[in-house]
């Protein structure tokens, strides 16, 4: 069939940051929209379900693997269009996200430096609206192009049409219909980085300092390494943050404060008039789960309670079971039910 090369079956664990999970019934890499169209048509005519795999950095795959066709968008290409004090950077979905961040910083462009060190591909970033250190990718996205499986056409969505939320978007809700093919971000060519996160502000020199994007990127990378959030050789494998930081209203915050007890201050960041974000890592640690806790081949990172890790030779079901224990422990202690950040493939029954 055309020039497509189908692999059947194909192990998926090596294609994920967790290095867990079984195999795909079939897998194919596509390097263009016509190849994507061809692969989807093959799946349709053969009655196979379709799964779309980017960098595998936000994915938990069941030990039994998945039936159907796994499509890997390997589209490449970066274009930079400068105009005045701004530049629109258009990037194909298959490019590695952190390589793009490094490129923009080296080109003197401002806006992505706080999102350094995040693993995965460009195509995944708008789907879950990735964010770190006070910045979300939706802050700079100009438009997203996606293949519409119902119409067979590539559509362009504005930032508003993407309906971005905290770690979600219309693209995530409609993942069965749309496949991201290209993302454009609008960056600044002049000025200074915008720093909104206190930890980062202190790390670059405190209030009133004026670091450039290169310095901010370097500091962000060091902060992430210190939390075990950078995928490096020899380090335990993870999907980074396993749970989303819960956002609560004033009443629910009061319940958490009461559960914490007198003298135990609950950290929070105001995100709305009456809404606050509570660090999930704090909730986990204050529910009795310590950093470095290990259960066989899986455990909690020694560096950050929000990262569940795989030390090698483990099973996905063990990681999911650990996540469930943590979720239930936090709910019992504080009355909040943590929501997982990664996507789950091939699991039956309840997942965390």
Tokens of 206: 């405190």
d(CA 224, CA 303): 10
Residue 205's pLDDT is what? 82
What is the residue whose two structure tokens read 């996606």?
Answer: 146
Residue 276's pLDDT is what? 95
| pLDDT tens for the 352 residues of the chain, in order | 558 999 999 999 999 999 999 999 999 999 999 999 999 999 999 999 999 999 999 999 999 999 999 999 999 999 999 999 999 999 999 999 999 999 999 999 999 999 999 999 999 999 999 999 999 999 999 999 999 999 999 999 999 999 999 999 999 999 999 999 999 999 999 999 989 888 999 999 866 667 899 999 999 999 999 888 887 777 899 999 999 999 999 999 999 999 999 889 999 999 888 999 999 999 999 999 999 999 999 999 999 999 999 999 999 999 999 999 999 999 999 999 999 999 999 998 777 7
> 227 burial class (0-12, 13-18, 19+ CB within 10 angstroms)?
middle
Give the domain ranges of the chain.
Answer: 10-73, 78-226, 237-345
Residue 208's pLDDT is what? 65
Tokens of 166: 């905290």
The hierarchical CATH code for the domain 78-226 is 3.30.465.10
Contact (CB, 8 A) for 193 and 211:
yes
Of 220, 231, 226, the residue nearest 119 (C-alpha):
231
**Prior bond to 9 cis, omega within 30?**
yes
Residue 234's pLDDT is what? 77
Fold classification of 237-345 (topology level): 3.90.78
**Among the four given CATH numbers 3.30.43.10, 2.60.120.620, 3.40.50.880, 3.30.200.20, the one describing domain 10-73:** 3.30.43.10
List, in sequence order, every beta strand (DSSP E) within 44-120: 50-52, 59-61, 66-73, 78-83, 86-92
Q: Give the residue numbers annotated as catalytic, written as ranges.
A: 167, 241, 341
Longest dimension (CA), the chain: 68
d(CA 176, CA 185): 24
């Amino acid at each position: 069939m055309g020039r497509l090369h189908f692999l059947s079956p194909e192990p998926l664990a090596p294609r994920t940051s967790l290095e867990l999970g079984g195999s795909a019934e079939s897998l194919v890499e596509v390097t263009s929209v016509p190849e994507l169209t061809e692969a989807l048509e093959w799946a349709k005519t053969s009655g196979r379900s379709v799964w779309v795999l980017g960098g595998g950095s936000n994915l938990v795959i069941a030990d039994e693997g998945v039936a159907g066709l796994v499509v890997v968008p390997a589209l490449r290409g970066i274009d930079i269009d400068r105009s005045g004090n701004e530049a629109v950077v258009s990037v194909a979905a298959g490019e590695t996200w952190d390589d793009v961040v490094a490129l923009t910083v080296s080109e003197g462009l401002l806006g992505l430096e706080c999102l350094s060190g995040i693993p995965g591909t460009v195509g995944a970033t708008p789907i879950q609206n990735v964010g770190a250190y006070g910045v979300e990718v939706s802050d700079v996205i100009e438009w997203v192009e996606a293949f519409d499986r119902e119409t067979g056409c590539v559509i362009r969505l504005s930032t508003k049409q993407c309906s971005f939320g905290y770690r979600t978007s219309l693209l995530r809700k409609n993942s069965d219909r749309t496949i991201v093919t290209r993302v454009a971000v609008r960056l600044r060519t002049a000025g200074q980085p915008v720093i909104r996160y206190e930890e980062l502000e202190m790390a670059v020199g405190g209030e009133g300092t004026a670091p450039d994007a290169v310095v901010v990127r370097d500091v962000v990378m060091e902060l992430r390494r210190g939390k075990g959030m950078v995928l490096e050789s020899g380090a335990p494998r993870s999907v980074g943050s396993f749970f989303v930081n819960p956002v609560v209203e004033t009443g629910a915050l009061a319940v958490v404060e009461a559960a914490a007890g007198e003298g135990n201050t609950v950290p929070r960041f105001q995100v709305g008039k009456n809404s606050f974000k509570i660090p999930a890592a704090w909730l986990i640690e204050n529910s009795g789960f310590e950093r470095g806790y290990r259960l066989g081949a899986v455990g909690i990172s020694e560096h950050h309670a929000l990262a569940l890790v795989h030390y090698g030779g483990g099973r996905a079901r063990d990681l999911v079971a650990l996540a469930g224990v943590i979720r239930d422990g936090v709910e019992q202690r504080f009355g909040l039910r943590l929501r997982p950040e990664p996507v789950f493939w091939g699991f039956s029954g309840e997942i965390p």
